[in-house]
Chains A and B, each alone.
Chain A
Amino acid sequence: MSVNTFWTILLIIHGLLAVALLGALTHQAVAVLMPARQAAGNFVDRFRAVPAAGYATAVCVLWVLTFIIGAWIYAKFRIYVRIPIEQAGYWKTQGFFELKEHAVTIGLGVLPAYWYFWKNARDPQYDSVRKWLTVLLAGFVWFGFLVGHVINNVRGFGS
């Protein structure tokens, strides 16, 4: 396996984990913002009718795995992707990547409370913070996913 293939596979795994995380957190965020009163109905009703509490551990595991693989790739990115991006003058794109790096790290930092609040979903004192923390994490993941996608379009591995 060539070096390029190895890093490309890792990048694809990073992307697939991010897709799973995006799906789980989007389901959860919609479920807390628009709680369904009944499971049946149209696509949107079914989308928001998921048992949101069951996603919490999976979200934490996916976030940590996505983060670790992203951090692994990041060292290669710094040399083989960022330098050409800067040479090509894509400063704003790189700036958004830096902001993504901040968002996902802060997201990692709030995961313990996120997990605790969801595992105590029957405690009404956590209802509001659980809701907005979930929405915040979903926002961070969407932001990170879109920025990562654009960066890969600008210069993916092997390009």
Chain B
Amino acid sequence: MTTPIITPPRAAGRVDVADARRRFHPWRLVVGVLLAVIVLQLAIFFITNPRFEWPVVAEYLFNPSVLLGLLTSIMLTIVGMVFGSLLGTVLAAGQLTEFAPLRWASIVFVAVFRGVPPLVQLIFWYNLAYVLPRIAVGVPFGPELFAWPTNDIITPLTAAIIGLSLHEAAYMAEIIRAGILSVDQGQRDASKALGFSRWHSFSRVILPQAMRVIIPPTGSQVIALLKGTSLVSVIAMGDLLHSVQVIYNRTYEVVPMLLVAVIWYLVVVTLLTIVQRRVERHFSRGLSSTSLTRRTVQKLEVTQ
């Protein structure tokens, strides 16, 4: 059942498509109305349901122990990301090296730490003293130089940092490796031919171009890591989730306290997303034609 297509007769006068009216899309109307109904329902549910206890949410939103928990989560994200990226870069380079033993070691490391769930890792590192009561530095199979009881070193904080950093390093290694491989081989040839050292070629030619590919997934990794820090609450590390748990264990106001945590997670993630967009734009410099045109036009305007 198709409607016949009618061409207006020439005799009726001059045809100009600029005079056309909008076409009516009935299904768009249906979906639009449905969405509006759902949004309205949700809003009424959140506002009128007394169990959300919004006054309690407001009371605890800026509570010092909640803010301290938020700060701890952000700190863990930053530390995990910094260590993860550094180790990840080394692992990525290791996976791409010609020297086979180093390559295999890097590949196995990445496979293990990508494969073990971060929650399992955190619990394992926290209980490291069970398999390794003492941590010692010394000559392999020879005398010890320094030794510490493991329980003095492994606190919730160090266990959290080790677990999150190693997990993150494995993911960052894959992201950075993909970025490096995305750079055209000709770039490597050209920097070799000009006599650049390996480091100069990697840091000035390859990495800046790889950044275009590395940045978007890294942004998602930062966001995933921020949410992932909530796992450290199981080893009694005082992150955002743990700080609201401590409060609701006392007051039994579980849902409003979780809402407090949710609001803060959403605020930080939104801010991170904005930063991520900016950074992405910065690193596409010289590589996408649109941003180039824009900057050239600006430059021309300045010179005139």
Asked if A and B are interacting partners, one says: no
